[in-house]
């Protein structure tokens, strides 16, 4: 397929590009406002399958034009969190919120209008409120699935919650396009967190997802068929606070949360079973993307 990756120069974009080059035969159009200063070796080896284009995707017409003739879109472009040191600054909050929701709307709308088959949209577990919350986040139950109430209270989390509404709206208007919105947790090759961060990382429940596994989820999502919009958690099935028991972490840091499923030992606080149902994705194992 001809796959467009928007926001391709960022951390997740590079992981998906490398994974797609290694495991599929897709032709890739890489869009970003700034091209990476140096491309990994694999990009040079597969240069016949890659095109880089510098585009400001806040410009709807430019985004729509870039999607002409493509089969599917992975959209990652945005500001991936509140701006460091400026959590209390309204202007920074407006920049994060407005940039993210404008980019995601452009992505969904342009893909649907251009007749693409599928869109995989980067979302975050922060859509329900989490690490950036101005107050200690209060979760209702563990493990958290996609039915948990939205309690976003900061600009980044709100932008992610709105992305999910945008997906629903575009899906009602364009039922033929298949939209999948992927709630990622901290995307990283390595799982551990330093011991002194255990309390802080409790705000978003010690979660993570391996970068290659996250990349696989996006490639499975653009193969999904049948129309409609689904939101899925893409989170590892183990927590990162190694050596700490999940039941003890829950009781210590989030005593108000109802325990509805297995929360013990090394188990995760997020339930990604829907991703397995909808995409065949599992953090380890699960379905591989098809080559074509």
Ligand X SMILES: NC(=O)c1ccc[n+]([C@@H]2O[C@H](COP(=O)([O-])OP(=O)(O)OC[C@H]3O[C@@H](n4cnc5c(N)ncnc54)[C@H](O)[C@@H]3O)[C@@H](O)[C@H]2O)c1
Sequence-ordered list of residues with C-beta below 8 angstroms from that of 90, at least 6 positions apart, any chain? none
- Interactions with ligand X, residue window 66-95 (CB under 6 A): 76-78, 80
Residue 54 beta carbon to ligand X: minimum distance, rounded to whole angstroms: 8
Q: Please, which residue, 27 or 210, has the CB nearer to ligand X?
A: 210
Residue 78 beta carbon to ligand X: minimum distance, rounded to whole angstroms: 4
Among 96, 120, 128, 184, binds ligand X (CB under 6 A): 184
Residue 264 beta carbon to ligand X: minimum distance, rounded to whole angstroms: 25
* Residue 267 sits in the site that holds ligand X (CB under 6 A): no
Q: Please, which residue, 85 or 255, has the CB nearer to ligand X?
A: 85
- Interactions with ligand X, residue window 110-129 (CB under 6 A): 122, 124
Give the integer Cα–Cα distance in Å for 259 and 233. Answer: 18
Q: Please, which residue, 9 or 171, has the CB nearer to ligand X?
A: 9
Q: Which of 274, 278, 265 is nearest to 147 (CA)?
A: 274
* Residue 167 sits in the site that holds ligand X (CB under 6 A): no
* Contact present, 4 and 70 (Cβ < 8 Å): yes
Give the integer Cα–Cα distance in Å for 288 and 97. Answer: 34
* Residue 187 sits in the site that holds ligand X (CB under 6 A): yes
- Interactions with ligand X, residue window 9-68 (CB under 6 A): 9-13, 32-34, 56-58
Among 111-119, 184-192, 222-230, 257-265, which window interacts with ligand X (CB under 6 A)? 184-192
> Residues interacting with ligand X, by CB under 6 A?
7, 9-13, 32-34, 56-58, 76-78, 80, 103, 122, 124, 184, 186-187
């Amino acid at each position: 397929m001809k796959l467009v990756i928007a926001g391709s120069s960022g951390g997740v974009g590079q992981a998906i590009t490398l994974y797609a080059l290694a495991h599929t035969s897709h032709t890739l159009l890489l869009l970003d406002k700034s091209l990476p200063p140096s491309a990994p070796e694999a990009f040079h080896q597969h240069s016949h399958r890659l095109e880089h284009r510098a585009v400001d995707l806040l410009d709807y017409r430019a985004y729509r034009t870039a999607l002409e003739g493509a089969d599917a879109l992975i959209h990652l472009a945005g500001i991936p969190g509140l701006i460091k040191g400026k959590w209390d600054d309204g202007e920074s909050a407006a920049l994060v919120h407005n940039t993210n929701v404008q980019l995601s709307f452009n992505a969904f709308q342009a893909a649907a209008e251009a007749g693409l088959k599928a869109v995989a949209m980067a979302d975050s577990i922060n859509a329900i409120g989490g690490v950036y919350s101005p107050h200690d986040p209060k979760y209702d139950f563990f493990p958290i699935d996609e039915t948990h109430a939205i309690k976003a209270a900061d600009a980044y989390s709100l932008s992610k919650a709105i992305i999910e509404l945008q997906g629903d709206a575009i899906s009602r208007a364009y039922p033929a396009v298949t939209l999948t919105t992927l709630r990622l947790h901290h995307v990283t090759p390595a799982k551990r967190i330093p011991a002194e961060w255990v309390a802080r990382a409790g705000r978003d429940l010690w979660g993570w997802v391996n970068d290659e596994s996250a990349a696989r989820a996006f490639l499975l999502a653009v193969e999904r068929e049948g129309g409609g919009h689904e939101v899925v958690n893409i989170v590892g099935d183990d927590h990162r606070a190694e050596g700490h028991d999940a039941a003890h972490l829950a009781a210590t840091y989030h005593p108000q949360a109802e325990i509805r499923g297995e929360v013990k030992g090394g188990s995760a606080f997020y339930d990604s079973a829907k991703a397995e149902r909808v995409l065949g994705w599992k953090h380890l194992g699960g379905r591989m993307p098809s080559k074509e």
